[in-house]
Amino acid sequence: MTALPLLPANFGADPDLLEAADRLLAGAQGPRDIRYVKTLRISVTDHCNFRCVYCMPDEGVDWLPKDEILTYEEIVEIARTAIGHGICDFKLTGGEPLLRKDLGTLARMLRGLPGCGEISLTSNGLLLDRFADELCEAGVARVTVSMDTLKPELFREITRRGDLAQVWRGIRAAEAAGMGPVKINVVVMRGYNVDEIVDFAEMTLTQPRTVRFIEFMPLARSMIEEAEHFVPYAEIRARIESRFGALQPAQQDTGTGPARTFRLRDALGKIGFIHAMSAPFCSTCNRLRLTADGQLRSCLFDGGEIDLRPLLRPTAQRAELRQAFLDCVVLKPDAHKHYGTRQMSQIGG
């Protein structure tokens, strides 16, 4: 990879930046020459109140020691550096981000940064009805909720403790607060929810939500077996199309990463696919990740991570932080391996 690794995605009308962007694009050999990194996914905690069968054992995992977790001030310092590179959108995730105390305070602090773009949240929805108003007021614009089944008993089985009705209350509260339409993430697993693919798709006919089907990714210590439960994108799509007819390409929602987005004929909502396994989209991946303990990661799967804590403690070293972002983007792989070293909850999914 040759070119400058970061190209501000929202460089606005700054003539110097626009000129630099033009020069870069003119010299690019192909899409991999330039990385458009637009979003930083910020994991605020590794704790979760669910134990999804594909993510965590029932007893949980070894939680990070408290003093290793970044403070809100440290996260904001990192976000300030990110904005300096044109990475202006922030997705709050975890673990379950709503378990972190005063998440609204962090959203407000980020919102106050000059140049801050869109702040969004990925949640399992269980606590969303309690925090929706506050988060919306604090500047969170959009919410994605994970929901792998529409059947209450199966929901409890997959999450090992979730209450589907409570998650629906959370979704409705988020939409009533002004953070809608909510996106719904569905991890498709054979033996669990394959028969519900069409039900989720049908939901988009009458509701403006986007349902995103995610291929199961075998991360570090999945509790279910890839060979047995993996369902490829082609099969998910075929099941939808054989029931409802051909999917039509649709405009991506803002903040959508590399998901492919479609619509059923005359549908109000959209259907997305995240096929990281059967058709990886590394060359267009537009995000970096920050783990709760301050590792800046180039990829969900590959180990390329840089520890930012030494650059923050005891005081922030701004030049070094800035360089760390440049170094991290260079680590972004052209194609990822299929297995990572950390669990999704420990990276920030």
Cis bond upstream, residue 181 (ω within 30) = yes
Does 295 help bind ligand SAM (rule: CB under 6 A)? no
CB of 107 to ligand SAM, least distance (A): 16
CB of 252 to ligand SAM, least distance (A): 18
Does 345 help bind ligand SAM (rule: CB under 6 A)? yes
Question: What does the chain come to in residues?
Answer: 349
Q: Which stretch binds ligand SAM (CB under 6 A): 89-97, 135-143, 173-181, 321-329?
A: 89-97
Residue 209: burial class (beta carbons within 10 Å; 0-12, 13-18, 19+): buried
Does 291 help bind ligand SAM (rule: CB under 6 A)? no
Question: Which residue from 53, 106, 214, 329 is in contact with ligand SAM, where contact means CB under 6 A?
Answer: 214
Q: Which is nearer to ligand SAM, 54 or 200 (CB)?
A: 54
Q: What is the phi/psi pair of residue 314, to 5°?
A: -75, -25
Supply the angle between the helices 233-244 and 197-206 in degrees, to the nearest 10. 50
Q: What is the phi/psi pair of residue 87, to 5°?
A: -95, 95
CB of 230 to ligand SAM, least distance (A): 10
Q: Which is nearer to ligand SAM, 7 or 147 (CB)?
A: 147
Does 193 help bind ligand SAM (rule: CB under 6 A)? no
User: Strands across the sheet with 140-146, in order?
Assistant: 248-249, 260-263, 270-274, 210-215, 183-188, 140-146, 119-123, 89-93, 39-43, 287-290, 295-297, 305-307
CB of 93 to ligand SAM, least distance (A): 5
Does 344 help bind ligand SAM (rule: CB under 6 A)? yes
Does 94 help bind ligand SAM (rule: CB under 6 A)? yes
Query: How far apart are alpha carbons 241 and 270 in whole angstroms?
Result: 14
Does 222 help bind ligand SAM (rule: CB under 6 A)? yes
Does 55 help bind ligand SAM (rule: CB under 6 A)? yes
Does 210 help bind ligand SAM (rule: CB under 6 A)? no
Question: Which residue from 5, 7, 54, 204 is in contact with ligand SAM, where contact means CB under 6 A?
Answer: 54
Alpha helices in the chain, H assignment, sequence order: 15-27, 72-84, 103-111, 128-138, 152-159, 164-177, 197-206, 226-229, 233-244, 318-331, 344-347
Q: What is the phi/psi pair of residue 136, to 5°?
A: -65, -45
Q: What is the phi/psi pair of residue 153, to 5°?
A: -70, -40
By beta carbon distance, the residue nearest ligand SAM is: 349
Q: Which is nearer to ligand SAM, 42 or 177 (CB)?
A: 42
Q: Which is nearer to ligand SAM, 48 or 70 (CB)?
A: 48
Distance of CA 283 to the CA centre of its chain: 17
Does 185 help bind ligand SAM (rule: CB under 6 A)? yes
Residues 138-167 touching ligand SAM, rule: CB under 6 A, are: 146
Structure tokens at 226: 């890839």
Does 188 help bind ligand SAM (rule: CB under 6 A)? no
CB of 198 to ligand SAM, least distance (A): 20
Q: Which stretch binds ligand SAM (CB under 6 A): 150-158, 214-222, 238-246, 286-294?
A: 214-222
Closest CA to 40 of 218, 251, 257, 339: 257
Query: How far apart are alpha carbons 217 and 235 in whole angstroms?
Result: 16
Is 187 in a helix, a strand, or coil? strand
Question: Which residue from 6, 40, 48, 328 is in contact with ligand SAM, where contact means CB under 6 A?
Answer: 48
Residues contributing to the site for ligand SAM (CB under 6 A): 48, 54-55, 93-94, 96, 122-124, 146, 185, 187, 214, 216-217, 219, 222, 344-345, 349
